[in-house]
Structure 1
Amino acid sequence: MRYCFALDLRDDPDLIARYEELHREVWPDVVRHIREHGVSTMEIYRLGTRLFMVMETDDGRYDADRMARAAESNPAVRQWEDLMWSFQAPTPWTPAGQKWVPMNRIFDLQQQA
């Protein structure tokens, strides 16, 4: 299954550059956590301060709630998420207490005649 999410970055060129630098080599424990929870691919794109993440999962293994609970008990993942939040900002549509917000697909070429 494919999921798409949005999140913003703080509008600071130095912070954005550092955020991108950190994502060139994500901590191994974080990568392992993502893969162990059924995420088969993940890409993050940026336009200005807006981030867009595309994530594909193994349907039988991925469970967002289970992944979130496991993240809370993993010190490396918690540390990474705390660090990332120093660069990130909620979108105007982000509910309180959330970070990445699911996006709604509005067009699919394969469904067109």
Structure 2
Amino acid sequence: MKRHCFALDLKNDPALIAEYENWHKAENGWPEIRKSILDAGIVDMQIYRTGNRLFMIMETLDDFRNEEKAARDAANPHVQEWEQLMWKYQQPLPWASGNEKWVCMDRIYQL
């Protein structure tokens, strides 16, 4: 298993943040999105929030490749629709490059 950590900001608007959280409740998630996550070799995913900053932890199979998941997502109309909907709430980190949304974080400490 491998762990991947990412960060992203939400637009700093309490109403939009509440909507975003509502979309991420289990009963509101799209089954096609869950399937695409699992099919990519992601075995667990958690998103945490503080203020408008999001932190995502993904546990994946050892052979998981983020580039391969991105290519599959680009070809999946359901994922593209979901990403377009989520962009209403999200904004890139100031140091994100190009169309990058979730920015991979580097581990700097481990006990």
TM-score (norm 2): 0.94
CA distance in structure 2 between the partners assigned to 1:92 and 1:66 by the alignment? 25
User: What is the SS of the residue equivalent to 1:44?
Assistant: strand
Could you tell me which of 70, 73, 76 is aligned with 2:72? Answer: 70
Report the RMSD for the aligned CA atoms in angstroms. 0.8
State the match for 1:14 in structure 2.
15
User: What is the SS of the residue equivalent to 1:30?
Assistant: helix
Identify which range, 13-22 or 89-98, moves more after superposition. Answer: 89-98
CA distance in structure 1 between the partners assigned to 2:58 and 2:66 by the alignment? 12
Could you tell me which of 89, 98, 104 is aligned with 2:91? Answer: 89
Gapped runs of 5+ residues in structure 2? none
Percent pairwise identity: 48
- The list of structure 1 runs, each at least 4 consecutive aligned residues, that deviate by more than 2 angstroms after superposition, is none
User: What is the SS of the residue equivalent to 1:17?
Assistant: helix
Could you tell me which of 92, 99, 111 is aligned with 2:101? Answer: 99
How many pairs align?
108
Gapped runs of 5+ residues in structure 1? none
What is the one-letter code of the residue matched to 1:68? A
TM-score (norm 1): 0.92
CA distance in structure 2 between the partners assigned to 1:68 and 1:17 by the alignment? 27
